[in-house]
Amino acid sequence: MSSREVVVLSVGGVRFVTRASTLQQFPESRLARMVSDDDREFKLVNGEFFVDRDGALFSYIMDFLRTLQVSLPTDFSDYQRLQREAEFYGLYSLANLLSQEHLLKPRLEILEVRFSLQKMQAFFRIFGSCSTTIEALAEQITVFTGQQSGQGWNSPFPSQKPLVPLPLERPSHHDMVFLCGTEYSAGDQFVARYVSIKPDKRKLINGTNVLGLLLDTLLKDGFRLISTRTVPSEEKAECYTFERMKRAAGLAIMVNQTPGSSGVAQARRSQVQKAK
């Protein structure tokens, strides 16, 4: 790669090395003009362009130029400062997106698990503020049913008879209901329900074990337990409330790269969520 294809910048004392083509993504930007020596404010010192701006914020500018996506950390708060930096560099499509910070800010997500024991059965109900999370969790949870002979609540092994998967009850897009354990059928027959939660491959019949696996799964998925309480009702349900910051979906920029383009860009939602 020739030296003309590589550009070195020193922004506020932070050194960046990139391709000239990356800085030329938006032809009308000051960075593109800098590469072409058309912007006198950027001084070339010892082969590096010196830029007297915020180096930490410029790392987000570079990430945007490399990916054409806006994806910021969940704890990011300097939207106005980053918008000013984007305007300084002539990246107005980025500045316009940053002015709509509600599109980029992560959202607080609440999830509640209710658990109650009745005789030999355990009942679960999960509520979530985000329907997408509930749908994803429903795909992880499978309830299997089958009949057993002379086996009860504390049986550690599934029946030898084939188990049949049951669909979860979905009262709405924001909650799901399922149960596990055994219930008396006829004679010495029991109807047993086992619960499996991916990626764990076990089929559990004990409600307390299922609860422990469910809570552990949520914690590993980034949720934080914020409260536990007992709901005053006939079932005496235990209630576990979780929260997490859900990263906003990345916003991608579609650049018009036709001849004579002025670098005008349009934003669209990207399904790719990129962590920093």
- Between 171 and 260, whose confidence is greater? 171
Closest CA to 162 of 185, 182, 144: 144
Distance between CA atoms of 124 and 134, rounded to whole angstroms?
Answer: 13
Closest CA to 264 of 82, 95, 80, 12: 95
Distance between CA atoms of 265 and 65, rounded to whole angstroms?
Answer: 12
Kindly tell me if the per-residue pLDDT of 231 is higher than 50: yes
Is 97 within 8 Å of 79 (Cβ atoms)?
no
* Amino acid 275: pLDDT: 36
Buried b (16+ CB within 10 A) or exposed e, 50-62: ebeebeebbebbb
Residues 6 or more apart in contact with residue 197 via CB below 8 angstroms: 140, 141, 142, 210, 213, 214, 217
Is 243 within 8 Å of 109 (Cβ atoms)?
yes
Confidence tier at 188 by pLDDT (50, 70, 90): low
* Amino acid 265: pLDDT: 42
Cite the DSSP H helix spans in the chain. Answer: 20-23, 30-35, 55-67, 79-88, 92-99, 131-140, 207-220
Architecture of domain 6-104: 2-Layer Sandwich (3.30)
pTM, rounded to two decimals = 0.60
Average pLDDT of the segment spanning 172-189: 82
Kindly tell me if the per-residue pLDDT of 263 is higher than 80: no
Distance between CA atoms of 239 and 246, rounded to whole angstroms?
Answer: 22
Place of tokens 């054409």: 68
Residue 196 carries which side chain, given as an amino acid letter?
A: S
Closest CA to 241 of 129, 159, 162: 129
Per-residue pLDDT reduced to its tens digit, 115-143: 998 888 999 999 999 898 999 999 999 99
Where exactly are the structural domains of the chain?
6-104, 108-246
Is 195 within 8 Å of 204 (Cβ atoms)?
yes
Residues 6 or more apart in contact with residue 209 via CB below 8 angstroms: none
Average pLDDT of the segment spanning 66-88: 89
Share the mean pLDDT of the chain.
82
Average pLDDT of the segment spanning 112-116: 94
